[in-house]
């Protein structure tokens, strides 16, 4: 059985960022399947967390298995799942208008809200939820802006500005959200990183225990962990790891408890 590093021995459970930490695109980060297996062998509980609301959790489970990492649906916390958790606890029974994928609409419906999309009353919905999508029409932005203008609770999965692709940035959730916010003159409550809700939902799944968050971004993973009152470790395996915005500790930036080249080095040692 692989020995864990002293750092990981001191935690009961870990929340792992997916993109840039467990995998990069369609490939696992080198050593991450072995690191996850070692954590589980040592009795540590593992959850996977992602700001991605485009794909349902089932897709992430499939990707993990394809890379040799065992996972069940309950192990994967997407920002859509975190939105569902928050809405179910605070806004069940209300009407909602959703900009986003079918996966996000399903999460909102499963939280007990009544979807007003495709009805004449959509612009009077009590809750507006905005997420990323590549299926967007001006009518969607108009309907959401009107509902927010009329006083709807306004939530969004993230402010992530772009989807990095090989050809460059594609407009992300934050770009779509900016259109609604600009028109309506109000700012949305964010559920994804760097806000803490994604990790609160992960803790709800994992249960009590000393928890370490592992991610590849200071301004997202480490900041969200700090907001949730959790320790975080930074790995330098993400895209653009060399250009992470600023140094830890500068300007009140959150400070990770450890840094490593990748998840394997963090968990198993160099
Ligand atoms: Mg990441």
Whole-prediction pTM: 0.93
Residue count (the chain): 270
| pLDDT value of residue 239 | 76
| pLDDT value of residue 249 | 55
Residue 154 and residue 101 share a domain = yes
Structure token pair of residue 57: 């959790």
From 17, 140, 216, 231, active-site residue: 17
Q: d(Cα 270, Cα 252) in Å, to the nearest integer? A: 29
Give the domain extent around 126: 90-190
Residue 209 and residue 183 share a domain = no
Residue 260 and residue 203 share a domain = yes
Tell which residue, 189, 191, 245, 197, has the closest CA to residue 217.
Answer: 245
| pLDDT value of residue 270 | 86
CA of 18 to the centre of ligand 1 (A): 6
E-only strand ranges, the chain: 13-17, 23-24, 27-28, 45-50, 76-78, 95-99, 114-115, 127-130, 153-156, 162-165, 168-171, 189-190, 211-215, 231-235, 258-260
pLDDT along the chain (270 residues), means of 10: 92 97 93 98 97 91 97 97 98 98 97 97 98 96 98 97 87 96 98 97 97 96 97 90 53 88 96
In a domain, 1, yes or no: no
> What distance lies between CA 133 and its chain's CA centroid?
15
Residue 179 and residue 94 share a domain = yes
Q: d(Cα 200, Cα 219) in Å, to the nearest integer? A: 18
19 is catalytic: yes
12 is catalytic: no
Tell which residue, 228, 207, 266, has the closest CA to residue 32.
Answer: 266
| pLDDT value of residue 241 | 56
| pLDDT value of residue 71 | 96
| pLDDT value of residue 182 | 98
Domain tally, the chain: 2
Residue 175 and residue 103 share a domain = yes
Q: Which of 190, 206, 237 is the last residue of a domain?
A: 190
Phi, psi of 134 (to 5 degrees): -105, 10
From 12, 19, 75, 221, active-site residue: 19
In a domain, 25, yes or no: yes
Q: What is the CATH number of the domain that holds 144?
A: 3.40.50.1000
């Amino acid at each position: 059985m692989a020995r864990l590093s002293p750092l990981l021995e001191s935690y009961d459970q870990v929340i792992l960022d997916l993109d840039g930490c467990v995998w990069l695109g369609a490939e696992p980060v080198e050593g991450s399947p072995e690191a996850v297996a070692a954590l589980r062998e040592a009795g540590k509980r593992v959850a996977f967390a992602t700001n991605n609301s485009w794909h349902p959790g089932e897709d992430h489970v499939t990707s993990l298995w394809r890379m040799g990492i065992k996972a069940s649906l309950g192990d994967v916390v997407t920002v859509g799942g975190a939105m569902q958790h928050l809405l179910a606890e605070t806004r069940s029974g209300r009407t909602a208008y959703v900009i986003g994928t079918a996966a996000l609409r399903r999460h909102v419906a499963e939280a007990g809200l009544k979807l007003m999309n495709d009805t004449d009353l959509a612009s009077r919905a009590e809750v507006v939820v905005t997420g990323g999508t590549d299926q967007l029409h001006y009518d969607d932005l108009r309907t959401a802006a009107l509902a927010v203008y009329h006083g709807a609770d306004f939530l969004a999965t993230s402010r992530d500005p772009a989807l990095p692709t090989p050809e460059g940035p594609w407009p992300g959730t934050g770009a779509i959200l900016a259109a609604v916010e600009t028109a309506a003159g109000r700012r949305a409550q964010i559920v994804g990183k760097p806000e803490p809700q994604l990790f609160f939902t992960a803790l709800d799944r994992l249960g009590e225990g000393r928890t370490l968050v592992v991610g590849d971004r200071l301004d997202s993973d480490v900041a969200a962990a700090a907001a949730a009152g959790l320790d975080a470790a930074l790995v330098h395996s993400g895209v653009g790891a060399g250009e992470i915005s600023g140094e830890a500790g500068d300007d009140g930036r959150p400070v990770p408890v450890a840094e490593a080249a990748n998840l394997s080095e963090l968990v198993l040692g160099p």
